[in-house]
Chain A
Amino acid sequence: DIQMTQSPSSLSASVGDRITITCRASQSISSLLNWYQQKPGKSPSLLIYAVSRLQSGVPSRFSGSGSGTDFTLTVSSLEPEDFATYYCQQSYSPPLTFGGGTRVEIK
């Protein structure tokens, strides 16, 4: 199975900050890497698929990059609604696997 390792597991930031979350795969997953946002009590929602493709309706302050085994999610300027937990996920081969999550909290 492909292991997905996210870091950090949590971070504190302020509105307007730029944040970066990293995700590392245990083997190459080409460009088949997705990012999800989940708010408490809600279902996850797709932010970015195929490394850098912004899902419809997602603000342009979110961006993704990387290839092979190393990937990043960047939020250029945090808004209040961005405080949530973020997960990376590989869709390269079954079993599909998720990272452990990064909780973004208000400083």
Chain B
Amino acid sequence: EVQLVESGGTLVQPGGSLRLSCAVSGFTVSSNYLSWVRQAPGKGLEWVTVIHSDGKTDYADSVKGRFTISRDNSKNTLYLHMNGLRAEDTAFYYCATSTVGATYGDFDYWGQGTLVTVSS
């Protein structure tokens, strides 16, 4: 059974850094696409980044140059490294994956989310 469990969300000051983790079970992180999607409290969904099975990455313009997606095959864990955090990065961060469709963006599995709050 596929499970995604995020952790690492907390309160951080503007300009600070944080690393989120997503523990994966049910498949190996190197075998599938994995994305981060965020949602500001009370707002809509925003795709953040993806890591392809071949290691290629893509980012939303809003985080490019500040966030980095990575994975640790030995721990079967996905990460999101966030630097230069801004108030507008405050959101629930979900890891998500696709096992159904023809693209990496058909998210049929989601984690429960972890809250990042950027505030002084």
Residues of A within 8 A of B (CB): 1, 32, 34, 36, 38, 43-46, 49-50, 53, 55-56, 87, 89-92, 94-101
Contact = CB atoms under 8 A, between A and B. Distances in A.
Interface in B25-58: 35, 37, 44-47, 50, 58
B103 A32 contact: yes
Main secondary structure of the interface of B (DSSP, over half): loop
Nearest to A90: B105
A29 B94 CA distance: 24
Contacts, number: 72
A50 B106 contact: yes
B100 A96 contact: no
8 contacts: A34-B105, A38-B45, A44-B94, A49-B100, A53-B101, A98-B47, A99-B44, A101-B45
Contact of A91 (B45, B106, B112): B106
B111 A50 contact: no
Contacts of A38: 45
B120 to A, nearest CB: 27
The 4 A-B residue pairs whose C-beta atoms are closest, nearest first, are: A91-B105, A43-B110, A96-B47, A91-B103
A89 B47 CA distance: 10
B61 interface: yes
A43 B112 CA distance: 6
B111 A95 contact: no
A28 B44 CA distance: 22
